[in-house]
């Protein structure tokens, strides 16, 4: 059969000769049949297994009849809130409504509800009280057990209960969904499907549950935040498919238990190749063309997925809970074949925008032990220092990039999904860094130091500032040696747990010494199922149970964010208040080290143009200032307004700057 989109209407079903779908997939996004969209992968995997799948995109949650559009499925409804958590999609960290939705035709908002997965499941349950409902995707995956909800500032039950779904699948789900489909197709009742890895189910009896750890009850979690922190860390230590135990969360008042089975095992390279070679249309459904298309496709249209999983272990990242820490990769041949498809697109201009995943330069598990014994449950591979068993080797990734560079029609291959610089520095062979600088930087290299104060970096699970400065020095040296003028664009985070005004001011001083104002600053966003979110809610580090300072008030968070962008006139009052509160009036004035002037909201004269900074400037930042104390010694020679220090280059035009895809 010729490649085509899956049915989205009865007319589409009729054209295929279908009287009924096996599965109706209700999704919170527009229908984009591309392998970077979760609903596309799951629907194509099911189709490949022989099942008929219809797509019901963004049904009207105010109208119960909207879920009837494709009729009743033979086996089950599948539900996914979207490629992005619906609450993060809808609200900024200040809980203000966003103005656009990149996953909706035309970028318009309001086409999906808050907590979309729960709302859709309940909508289906009203019309089909006995039909199996299976919920999955990032929104369900990170809410599979009791969790802190930032938007209501309270604990919420397992999404499985609030959604009235029968089964929840977490993680990437390719193996799990096929196993569930085969069980349903064989006539097994959904209530009897309790054995599938990567699934969560509810039960009233634990007679058949074995090899399980019992977590604190829902009632106990509500009584003690410390208990919640302890429960979360037990979950965190049981995310590895090789060593994880079943977890049982009791709900005493309801007389039931929520049971989480161990994660599905990682896909082999051959399985990864097969999943990404399925007949995706690689774009959004043509019915959206008149509405302006789906903006989210632009970021991934000419990008290649090389890997999944991440052993970086950042505290604020939920990848440990969703994709896991074991890196899974596609073969060179499979990626090169997909790249050849890109070159045949009429819109392809010769530039592959990215070759990567959660972290671009992770192309194999962090050590050989992981493939048989799993990851260490209570140790990180890179934090606080790299493990002695860490496998550091960029040769495979280098070979892949070289093959892609040589393809006819390819002018440039960029890396935009993030480089883990501490891992890169562990490589004694400098070939990868040299070729990265020479061939794969689009004027600006994206890295994520996140902060410069070591107490904050420790809470983040990130390397010390000294490591970042060493990387900048090497990067700058290579640029000079190769005659390149390329920037590092550091992504920075404000008000993360552990950050007091002292650390926020130290970060502002660091930015002052670099001479530029970051255009992109992320205020810490407490999303479900991360260590950092547990710190935010409980005031405890779940790894050690030690107290952590947490900036929770919106006003303090606003001050910390304003300090990073202290040159912006609209931030003047907040910056001044922050400096006065911290007793740092020495930074208010006309001196070389001052951040703001004393008597007006105008910013001080710029020392040099805004833009990315070079490694030389970063390496020369004062170490004392980076530790949150007042900088000592003589200040750097002041530049005349509008000038740039040695080693800088003019920033790339804004329209050509890479969009941010994620943190590493």
51 occurs within a structural domain: yes
CATH number at residue 117: 3.40.50.2300
DSSP 393-425: --HHHHHHHHHHHTSTT--EE---S---HHHHH
Residue ending a domain, choose from 158, 181, 197: 197
630 occurs within a structural domain: yes
471 occurs within a structural domain: no
pLDDT at residue 658 greater than cutoff 80: no
Q: Quote the strand ranges of 187-291, DSSP E.
A: 199-203, 212-214, 246-251, 256-260, 283-284
Q: What angle do CA 522, 525, 531 make, to 5 degrees?
A: 115
453 occurs within a structural domain: no
68-89 mean pLDDT: 97
Task: Label residue 613 by pLDDT band (50, 70, 90).
Answer: very low
Which of 592, 590, 595 has the alpha carbon at shortest distance from 569? Answer: 595
30-40 mean pLDDT: 98
CA dihedral 433, 436, 441, 443 (to 10 degrees): 50
Give the integer Cα–Cα distance in Å for 576 and 29.
Answer: 42
Residue ending a domain, choose from 179, 197, 215: 197
178 occurs within a structural domain: yes
Of 324 and 604, the one with more pLDDT: 324
Global confidence as pTM: 0.88
Of 633 and 233, the one with more pLDDT: 233
Give the integer Cα–Cα distance in Å for 549 and 593.
Answer: 28
22 occurs within a structural domain: yes
281 occurs within a structural domain: no
Q: Is the peptide bond before 656 cis (omega within 30 degrees of 0)?
A: no
pLDDT at residue 348 greater than cutoff 90: yes
pLDDT given for residue 600 in this prediction: 56
Owning domain of residue 597? 500-664
Report the range of poorest mean pLDDT among 87-91, 341-345, 620-624. 620-624
Of 617 and 587, the one with more pLDDT: 587
In the Cβ-directed half-sphere of 602, how many Cα atoms lie within 13 Å?
6
Count of the separate structural domains present in the chain: 2
Residue ending a domain, choose from 168, 197, 226: 197
DSSP 435-486: HHHHHS--SEEEEEEE-S-HHHHHHHT---HHHHHHHHHHHHHHHHHHT---
Task: Label residue 1 by pLDDT band (50, 70, 90).
Answer: low
Give the integer Cα–Cα distance in Å for 376 and 358.
Answer: 20
466-473 mean pLDDT: 95
Task: Label residue 535 by pLDDT band (50, 70, 90).
Answer: very high
Tens-digit pLDDT profile for residues 448-469 = 999 999 999 999 999 999 999 9
417-441 mean pLDDT: 95
188 occurs within a structural domain: yes
pLDDT at residue 365 greater than cutoff 80: yes
Tens-digit pLDDT profile for residues 283-315 = 999 999 999 999 999 999 999 999 999 999 999
Task: Label residue 518 by pLDDT band (50, 70, 90).
Answer: confident
Percent of the chain at pLDDT > 90 equals 83
């Amino acid at each position: 059969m010729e490649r085509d989109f899956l049915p989205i209407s009865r007319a589409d079903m009729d054209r295929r000769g279908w009287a009924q779908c096996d599965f109706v997939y209700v999704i919170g996004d527009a229908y984009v049949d591309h392998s970077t969209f979760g609903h596309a992968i799951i629907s194509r995997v099911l189709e490949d297994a022989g099942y008929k799948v219809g797509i019901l995109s963004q049904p009207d949650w105010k109208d119960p009849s909207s879920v009837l559009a494709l009729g009743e499925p033979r086996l089950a409804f599948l539900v996914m809130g979207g490629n992005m958590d619906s609450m993060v999609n809808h609200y900024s960290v200040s809980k203000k409504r966003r103005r656009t939705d990149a996953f909706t035709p035309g970028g318009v908002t309001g086409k999906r509800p808050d907590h979309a997965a729960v709302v859709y499941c309940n909508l289906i349950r009203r019309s089909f009280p006995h039909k199996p409902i299976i919920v999955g995707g990032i929104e369900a995956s990170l809410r599979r057990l009791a969790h802190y909800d930032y938007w209501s500032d309270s604990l919420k039950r397992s999404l499985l209960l609030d959604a009235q779904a029968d089964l929840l699948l977490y993680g990437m789900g390719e193996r799990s969904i096929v196993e569930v489909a085969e069980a349903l197709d064989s006539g097994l009742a959904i209530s009897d499907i309790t054995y599938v890895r990567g699934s969560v189910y509810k039960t009233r009896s634990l007679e058949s549950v074995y090899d399980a750890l019992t977590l604190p009850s829902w009632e106990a979690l509500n009584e003690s935040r410390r208990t919640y922190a302890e429960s979360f860390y037990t979950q965190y230590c049981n995310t590895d498919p090789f060593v994880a135990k079943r977890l049982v969360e009791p709900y005493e008042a309801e007389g039931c238990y929520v049971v989480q089975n161990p994660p599905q095992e990682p896909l082999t390279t051959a399985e990864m190749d097969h999943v990404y070679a399925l007949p995706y249309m690689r774009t959004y459904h043509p019915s959206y063309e008149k509405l302006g298309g789906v903006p989210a496709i632009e970021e991934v249209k000419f990008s290649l997925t090389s890997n999944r999983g991440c052993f970086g272990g950042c505290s604020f990242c939920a990848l440990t809970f969703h994709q896991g820490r074991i890196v899974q990769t596609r073969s060179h041949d499979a990626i090169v074949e997909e790249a050849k498809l890109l070159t045949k697109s009429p819109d392809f201009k010769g530039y592959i925008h990215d070759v990567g995943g959660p972290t671009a330069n992770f192309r194999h598990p962090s050590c050989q032990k992981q493939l048989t014994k799993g990851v260490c449950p209570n140790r990180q591979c890179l934090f606080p220092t790299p493990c002695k068993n860490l496998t550091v080797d960029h040769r495979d990734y280098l070979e892949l990039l070289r093959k892609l560079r040589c393809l006819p029609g390819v002018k440039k291959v960029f890396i935009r999904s993030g480089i883990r610089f501490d891992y890169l520095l562990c490589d004694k062979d400098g070939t990868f860094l040299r070729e990265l600088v020479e061939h794969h930087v689009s004027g600006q290299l994206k890295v994520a130091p996140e902060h410069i104060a070591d107490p904050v970096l420790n809470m983040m699970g990130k390397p010390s500032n000294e490591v970042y400065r060493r990387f900048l020095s090497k990067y700058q040296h290579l640029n000079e040696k190769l005659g390149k003028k390329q920037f590092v664009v550091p992504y920075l985070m404000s008000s993360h747990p552990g950050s007091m005004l002292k650390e926020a001011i130290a970060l502002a001083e660091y930015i002052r010494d670099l001479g530029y104002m970051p255009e992109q600053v992320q205020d810490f966003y407490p999303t479900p199922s991360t260590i950092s979110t547990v710190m935010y809610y409980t005031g405890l580090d779940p790894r050690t149970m030690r107290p952590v300072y947490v900036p929770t008030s919106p006003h303090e968070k606003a001050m910390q964010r304003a300090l990073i962008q202290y040159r912006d006139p609209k931030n003047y009052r907040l910056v001044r208040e922050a400096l006065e509160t911290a007793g740092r009036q020495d930074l208010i004035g006309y001196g070389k080290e001052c951040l703001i002037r004393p008597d007006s909201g105008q910013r001080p004269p710029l020392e040099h143009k805004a833009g990315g900074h070079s490694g030389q400037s970063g390496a020369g930042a004062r170490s004392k200032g980076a530790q949150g104390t007042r900088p000592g010694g003589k200040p750097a020679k002041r530049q005349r307004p509008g000038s740039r220090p040695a080693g800088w280059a003019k920033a790339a035009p804004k329209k050509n700057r890479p969009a941010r895809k994620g943190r590493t």
